[in-house]
Amino acid sequence: MTIHTSYYKGAIKGEAVSISLYPPPAWNGKHLPLFAPTPELLSWWKSSAKDTAAQQEYKRQFRDILDSRQQLIQVWVDKHKDNPQDMTLCCFEKTGDFCHRHQVGEEVVQKYLPELWGGEIGTVGHKRQREKEQGAGDRGKTSPQFSPHPATIPLFDRKPVHPATYPRRVLTLIEQCHKSGYPVVCDRLPCGYYRVSLRGEDLGEWSELGVLGVLSGLCHEFYRGRLLPSLATVAADEKNATADVAVLQPVAAQPESTSLITRLGKLEEEELAQIQDWCKSIKNQMFPSVSQYADGRLELHLRRFVSLASAKSGKKAEVKLIEPGRYAGAEMIEALGEKLLPDFHQALVLFYPAGTQIKVHRDSPAYASGAAQINISGRARFSISGCQDTRRMESYWLEEGDCIAFDNKQPHCIDRVLSDRWCVCFFRLKAECLQGAEVGIEPKYDQKPVI
């Protein structure tokens, strides 16, 4: 077996494997996101000067990404030591252009599988490598030992060490679990999800929002029984002892399954009817959506108005504080928001007339990761991806009163609704977007910023 690198329209030897974040639309080969950059790094690169300094910074950041994936890289290395089939790792840039695949070749293949390295197809180095293989027959060499990532050492023999690149909230909750006597292990997957285990028990794979719920659950006795099969009996006892627990739980509550949304509870009867009536009462104050992805949708902002800007524009989102009490009865919505997404910065009240939709999109860079939503009236089909791939989206039906949390940085959409639909979405903003916000009213909407 020989491992080469090349670009999609260039020469390919053996099996073609895509290692770009998003393969070409007509790509029929394998996709290996293990060696792809993150969406954040790719976005940063596109907006950079692409000069020597930017290239060095890109390489530094990508090296940190590879370091955070060492456990999975070890699995990949072990798998391909005895694989007889040649392969070519592909990306978009032409031979000679700056591309992360060259770093993968240098820092992964050459380091851990040097005897299998075939080089970049079409370069002088590639030709010399092939001549060396044919003349010296050096395939029998033994590859150097792969240094195990701490997370690959058996759980019972070590205290798990998690990369500092993990979000601070995730690291904090991991530490709290350890202090509580539950040494949880969170291994990050190539798509950005976390594989969670505890004392040999697999707790599933989760988005960042989902893993926050799992880790928070492990810190509380009531949720541990739902998370761990070994504590099923304890969970049953806890359930009987807490029958009067409120329907709505904070966003950190344990989701029902390993789905891409977290179901936080359901509004019913009088409480739901009260909110439905409030929505109808403020309809005449709503305005056409500022999102270019929504057709015919109306919206109203609470706490803050955010004039959204896309990542491509390079512009900073404009944030205006909305004076408290401007919309009578809105405190009821804000109280629910605090239960679903504590300390949220903005609520969007949305009205979808029958036949309208919001197309596939990722929320603006102004928003932090993680959002919550109440489906107030009307049935809706909500679709979302778990790995940034719009071809791999899962769909969920939202019924009246359903409360969910989801990763708003993943591609998501609402199909065209068959009847009028009301919902409220809750968001947190990034710190830099909160600075300097002034009290004001929503500006006139003579342009359409994008989500």
DSSP string, 378-438: S-EEEEEESSS-TTSEEEEEE-TTEEEEE-TTS-EEEPPPSS-EEEEEEEEE-HHHHTT-E
Alpha carbon 395 to chain centroid distance? 16
pLDDT at position 147 is: 41
DSSP secondary structure letter of residue 324 = T
Would you say 321 and 276 are in contact if contact means Cβ atoms under 8 Å apart? Answer: no
DSSP secondary structure letter of residue 192 = S
DSSP secondary structure letter of residue 445 = -
**Domain boundaries defined on the chain:** 3-140, 150-243, 263-440
Would you say 363 and 433 are in contact if contact means Cβ atoms under 8 Å apart? Answer: no
pLDDT in tens, 283-336: 888 888 767 788 788 888 998 888 765 444 556 777 888 888 888 888 889 988
Compute the mean pLDDT over every residue in the chain, rounded to the nearest whole number. Answer: 77
> With a threshold of 0.75, does the pTM exceed it?
no
Question: What CATH superfamily is the domain 263-440?
Answer: Alpha-ketoglutarate-dependent dioxygenase AlkB-like (2.60.120.590)
Which of 55-69, 168-182, 241-255, 405-419 shows the lowest mean pLDDT across its residues? Answer: 241-255
Mean pLDDT of 171-184: 85
